[in-house]
């Protein structure tokens, strides 16, 4: 007798690697990333274009690239150009993250002579695209890069987007920022709620222009930036502004902080500008603050005891009051003598 199994609805099935569940990707991966993987597993031999996948799943082409890059970085898939296949690492357990702990005894990396090159600035301004294979190779081949990507993912609370991965690669590979410095840049941007690729590139441009290429310099720059934005927010409240300062006004504030002027001193200058001109005038405030800085006045209490200018020579009286009083007294005395004779 011949036996036959009628699969019915099971006739069209496909396998999903157990490592997708074993390594917690069902929890870590987004719904979009899982959809793309399932679609690729269901139609492995069709050679489907990314725009077709995007159309079938109702997502963007960038989402398709992000999803495939996620599975490559996770070690589930590998690729050669546009061809994807099971990764040799897909059976290996995930490597646990190790927190970066710089120590005083650790040898310092050699300083970068000059990161602010035309090539570095051009990389930050361009839309450089790293192929998924290159990004996966950098992540899997360098523990520092791997931890940088993991740190970003932890701070974001989700897998990295395609544009975010490209930004990290530009900062590390094209600009040449050390991974630990890039990590500090990323954490700073998250702390001020400005963790966008565009803003990270803007901070990166500031850092390469100012030679921020090691941990102490990065700590000092973050301190300066934190002080600046704290001062700016306080001044907007003092000045009653609902909008941000203009670029020129921001430059004034930055210059005043460089002079050693606190937000309290800037407020004093603002009040003086109101008294003198009846309005907020940054050029007027700038003259006042520079005068105070030149005289060493850096705290509000010193303004009250500020040295007053000596009177001009021509403002002195042309008469001597003591001499007049003495002459009047002598004249009165002589008259009394004559009256008694």
Tell the burial category of 340 from Cβ atoms under 10 Å away from its Cβ (0-12, 13-18, 19+).
exposed
**Same CATH fold assignment for domains 12-86 and 240-306:** yes
pLDDT at 122 over 50: yes
Q: Would you list the domain boundaries of the chain?
A: 12-86, 115-213, 240-306
pLDDT in tens, 271-301: 999 998 888 899 999 999 999 999 888 888 8
For residue 339, what pLDDT is reported?
Answer: 53
Residue 1 confidence (pLDDT) = 57
At the top level of CATH, the class of 12-86 is mainly alpha
pLDDT of residue 24: 65
Total residues found in the chain within this entry: 341
Q: Phi-psi bin for 234: left (phi > 0), alpha (psi -120 to 50), beta?
A: alpha
DSSP state of 102: -
Condensed to tens digits (0 to 9), the pLDDT of residues 206-231 reads 888 888 889 999 999 998 888 888 88
Q: pLDDT-derived band of residue 168, with 50, 70 and 90 as boundaries? A: very high
62, 36 Cβ separation under 8 angstroms: no
pLDDT value for 285: 93
Q: In 3-state terms, what secondary structure has residue 83?
A: strand
Domain 240-306 has CATH 1.10.10: yes
- pLDDT value of residue 4: 67
**pTM across the whole model:** 0.51
State residue 83's pLDDT score: 74
More confident of the two residues 289 and 112: 289
Neighbouring C-alpha atoms within 13 Å toward the C-beta of 33 = 23
Q: What is the mean pLDDT of the chain?
A: 77
What pLDDT score was predicted for residue 73?
Answer: 67
């Amino acid at each position: 007798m011949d036996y036959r199994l009628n699969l019915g609805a099971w006739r069209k099935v496909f396998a999903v690697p157990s490592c997708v569940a074993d390594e917690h990707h069902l929890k870590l991966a987004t719904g979009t990333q899982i959809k793309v993987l399932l679609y690729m597993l269901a139609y492995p031999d069709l050679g489907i274009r990314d725009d077709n996948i995007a159309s079938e799943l109702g997502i963007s082409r960038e989402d398709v690239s992000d999803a495939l890059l996620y599975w490559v970085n996770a070690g589930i898939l590998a690729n050669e150009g546009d061809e994807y296949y099971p990764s040799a690492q897909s059976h290996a357990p995930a490597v646990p993250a190790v927190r970066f702990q710089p120590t005083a005894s650790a040898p310092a990396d050699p300083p970068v002579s000059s990161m602010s090159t035309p090539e570095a600035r051009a990389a930050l301004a361009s839309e450089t695209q790293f192929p998924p294979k290159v990004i996966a190779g950098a992540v899997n081949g360098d523990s520092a890069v791997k931890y940088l990507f993991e740190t970003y993912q932890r701070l974001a609370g989700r897998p990295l987007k395609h544009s975010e991965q490209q930004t990290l690669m530009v900062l590390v590979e094209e600009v040449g920022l050390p991974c630990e410095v890039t990590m500090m840049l990323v954490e700073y941007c998250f702390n001020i709620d400005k963790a966008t690729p565009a803003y990270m590139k803007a901070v990166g441009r500031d850092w390469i222009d100012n030679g921020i290429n090691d941990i102490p310099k990065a700590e000092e720059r973050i301190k300066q930036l934190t002080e600046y934005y704290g001062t700016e927010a306080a001044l907007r409240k003092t000045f009653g502004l609902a909008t941000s300062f203009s670029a020129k006004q921001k430059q004034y504030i930055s210059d005043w902080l460089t002079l050693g002027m606190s937000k309290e001193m800037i407020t004093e200058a603002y009040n003086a500008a109101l008294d003198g001109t009846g309005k907020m005038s940054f050029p007027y405030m700038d003259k006042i603050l520079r005068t105070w800085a030149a005289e060493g006045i850096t705290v509000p209490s010193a303004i009250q005891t500020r040295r007053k200018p000596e009177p001009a020579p021509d403002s002195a009286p042309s008469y001597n009051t003591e001499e007049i009083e003495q002459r009047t007294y002598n004249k009165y005395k002589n008259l009394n003598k004559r009256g008694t004779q």
